[in-house]
Structure 1
Amino acid sequence: MAALATNPEALIESLEDQRYSAVLSGDLATFEELCHPGLVYSHSSGDRDSLRAYTDKLRTGALRYHRIDHKSEKVTIIGNTALVMLRMSADLTINGAPMTLKCTALAVWVNEADSWKFIAYQSTPQP
């Protein structure tokens, strides 16, 4: 853990792993703990959700992930903000319809009161 404290990029990558793991396993308490209350989650479809709207979809099963693979390509920290450029692929069900996604994405984390919180996500489908 000490290595993560001295390497903020590694800490952010660890938080990203925790975020994806929580969503995949349905651990919404952990997911919400990682999130900033002002989260804006922009889906590859162009739809946007608040933290509550996104977790409501997960809670009700309107959005269900079956597999998520993600790879951070670059973590850039500027002041109290971390930008994570990544690639993500997933098998999921949206409103009962199965789907496979392959996207590039930007995840944004903000450090407030010595705690990193997930505040924004924007994904773009790969051709």
Structure 2
Amino acid sequence: MTRHAFRALILPAALAGMIPTAPVLARAAHAAAAHDEASLIATEDAFFAAQISHDFATVDASLGDELVYCHANGRRETRGDHLAALRDGHLDYRRIDPSDRVVHVYGDVGTSRANLTMQVGERTMKASVLGVYAWRDGRWQLVSWQTTPLPDA
């Protein structure tokens, strides 16, 4: 096939949207990269920071409607319960430091397991946590959280 014949076939197909063009491919690559392990870690770090700084809009956007949030004391909260506890000061996160974090992405579902050192009010505690996230509307949302207290070292 000559170069001219190739152009005669490819150019009309690209213009008709049948063959992805460079901007389409770039957006697709960005979208695919945007929901990888690094983006899940960034989302979780932003969620921790938002709880500490009382950025309720970011916390709100980070939570899925079906959230089940289980605290180290066994208390189980819905999305609304968790937001209310943060807003009314019942939960006063002052520090959240993750370590030993392991993150996996399985399609549109991601998991994050870590150990946290947290200061909640005047109390400092260590816990092992497991978060489950769903990729929706171009962002990760937390849909399940389980906290297990760790003994003091």
For Structure 1 versus Structure 2, the TM-score category normalised by the shorter chain is 0.7 to 0.9
| Distance across 1 between alignment mates of 2:49 and 2:140 | 17
| Distance across 2 between alignment mates of 1:110 and 1:7 | 10
Q: 1:105 aligns with which of 95, 112, 129?
A: 129
Q: 1:54 aligns with which of 82, 93, 101?
A: 82
Q: 1:67 aligns with which of 77, 95, 98?
A: 95
Is the 1:13–1:72 contact (alpha carbons within 8 Å) kept by the matching residues of 2? Answer: no
**Map of 2:49 onto structure 1:** 21
What TM-score do the two structures reach when normalised by structure 1?
A: 0.87
Aligned length: 122
**Map of 1:120 onto structure 2:** 144
Higher helix proportion, which one?
2
What TM-score do the two structures reach when normalised by structure 2?
A: 0.73
Shift of 1:115: 2.8
Letter in 2 for 1:55: L
**Map of 1:12 onto structure 2:** 40
Q: How does 1:79-90 map to 2 (within 5 A)?
A: 79-90=107-118
Query: After TM superposition, which residue ranges in structure 1, 4 or more long, deviate above 2 angstroms?
Result: 4-7, 112-115
Seen in structure 2, the aligned counterparts of structure 1 residues 126 and 61 have a Cα distance that, compared at 3 Å, is same
Aligned residues: CA RMSD? 1.9
Is the 1:67–1:90 contact (alpha carbons within 8 Å) kept by the matching residues of 2? Answer: yes
For structure 1, the 5+ residue unaligned runs are none
For structure 2, the 5+ residue unaligned runs are 1-29
Is the 1:83–1:108 contact (alpha carbons within 8 Å) kept by the matching residues of 2? Answer: yes
**Map of 1:31 onto structure 2:** 59
The alignment-based identity, stated in percent, is 29
Work out which structure has the larger RCO, using CA pairs closer than 8 Å and 6 or more positions apart in sequence. 1
Kindly name which structure, 1 or 2, has the bigger radius of gyration based on alpha carbons. 2
